[in-house]
Amino acid sequence: MKLKNVGIIGLGTYVPEKVMTNFDFEKIIDTSDEWIRTRTGIEERRFASEDQATSDLAAEAAKKALKNAGVSVEEIDMIIVATATPDYNLQNTACIVQELIGAVNAGAVDVSAACSGFVYALTMAKGLVASGINKKILVIGAEVLSRCVDMQDRNTCVLFGDGAAAAIVTEVEEGYGMVSQFLGAEADLKGSLRTPAGGTRKPLSQEVLDERSNFIQMKGQDVFKFAVKALPKATLEALEQGGFKAEDIDMVFPHQANSRIIESASKRLNIPMEKFYLNLNKYGNTSSASIGLALGEALEKGLVKKGDLIALTGFGAGLTYASMIIRWSY
Reported as a single tens digit per residue, the pLDDT across 108-152 is: 999 999 999 999 999 999 999 999 999 999 999 999 999 999 999
CA distance 177 to 308: 10
Same domain membership, residue 141 and residue 95? yes
Range of the domain at 87: 6-175
Half-sphere exposure of 50 (CA within 13 A, CB side): 0
pLDDT at 3: 81
CA distance 292 to 299: 10
Q: In this structure, what CATH number is given to the domain that contains residue 10?
A: 3.40.47.10
- Let me know: does 304 contact 329? Beta carbons within 8 Å: no
Same domain membership, residue 168 and residue 22? yes
1 belongs to a structural domain = no
Mean per-residue pLDDT of the chain: 96
Same domain membership, residue 185 and residue 160? no
Same domain membership, residue 188 and residue 153? no
Residue after which a domain boundary falls, among 175, 209, 234? 175
Same domain membership, residue 256 and residue 165? no
Same domain membership, residue 123 and residue 214? no
pLDDT at 189: 82
Same domain membership, residue 232 and residue 196? yes
CB atoms within 10 A of CB 27: 8
The candidate with the shortest Cα–Cα distance to 254, out of 235, 236, 268, is: 235
**How many structural domains compose the chain?**
2
List, for residues 179-225, the tens digit of each pLDDT value.
Answer: 999 999 999 888 899 999 999 999 999 999 999 999 999 998 999 99
Mean pLDDT (whole number) for 4-8: 95
- pTM of the shown model: 0.96
Q: Which residues are catalytic?
A: 115, 255, 285
Residue after which a domain boundary falls, among 175, 206, 237? 175
List, for residues 20-65, the tens digit of each pLDDT value.
Answer: 999 999 999 999 999 999 999 999 999 999 999 999 999 999 999 9
Residue 289 pLDDT greater than 80, yes or no: yes
The candidate with the shortest Cα–Cα distance to 330, out of 313, 308, 314, 298, is: 308
The one-letter code for the residue type at 180 is S
The candidate with the shortest Cα–Cα distance to 311, out of 228, 246, 226, 229, is: 246
CA distance 326 to 309: 6
Same domain membership, residue 152 and residue 113? yes
The helix (H) or strand (E) run that includes residue 281 is helix 280-283
pLDDT at 1: 66
123 belongs to a structural domain = yes
pLDDT at 246: 96
CA distance 106 to 129: 14
In this structure, what are the phi and psi dihedrals at residue 228, rounded to the nearest 5 degrees? -65, -20
Same domain membership, residue 18 and residue 143? yes
The candidate with the shortest Cα–Cα distance to 46, out of 61, 55, 57, is: 57
Local confidence band at 164 (pLDDT 50, 70, 90 cut-offs): very high
- C-alpha 3, offset from chain centre: 27
40 belongs to a structural domain = yes
Residue after which a domain boundary falls, among 127, 144, 175? 175
Same domain membership, residue 194 and residue 116? no
